[in-house]
Amino acid sequence: MTELQPTEYLYELWDANWDDGPLGNYQILQHPITKKTAKRIYFTYSTGVHRGGFVDRQKIEADGEVYHGYTMRRLHLAPPEIPHQVKRATLAELKQAMADAHPDRGGSDEAFIAARARYEEERAKGSQVSRRP
């Protein structure tokens, strides 16, 4: 009896909300590798239709990833890191940071001016959003 070989995959970072802009709903898709030659790695798409494709083996092994132009996907040899969106600070947090940076509380003039600029910028964004019809 032959021993089964573990399945190898090409990985893709996929955003479920790609058409609405990056909302951070990322998933890692696994596309099973079906064959390896000296020049190419053949795989089957794991999404929807199970058709095949291939990538340049030397390029993906050298860079760890390759852009597959036919399907406009970036494929990786190892599972990629899922990016995390930076949480925007609330006005209350920015106001507290501004107060903490005040020179009377041990902060510097430069730190206070920068904190105030961040607070004012975010406050202006918030008032523009609320005025939209």
- Of the two residues 21 and 7, the one the predictor is more confident about is 7
Residue type, 101: A
| 116 touches 98 (CB < 8 A) | yes
pLDDT in tens, 11-37: 998 877 665 555 567 888 899 999 999
Half-sphere exposure of 58 (CA within 13 A, CB side): 2
Give the integer Cα–Cα distance in Å for 98 and 119: 7
Nearest in space to 29 (alpha carbons), one of 19, 39, 43: 43
- What is the mean pLDDT of the segment spanning 90-115? 89
Give the list of residues 6+ apart from residue 103 with CB closer than 8 angstroms, or none. Answer: 109, 112
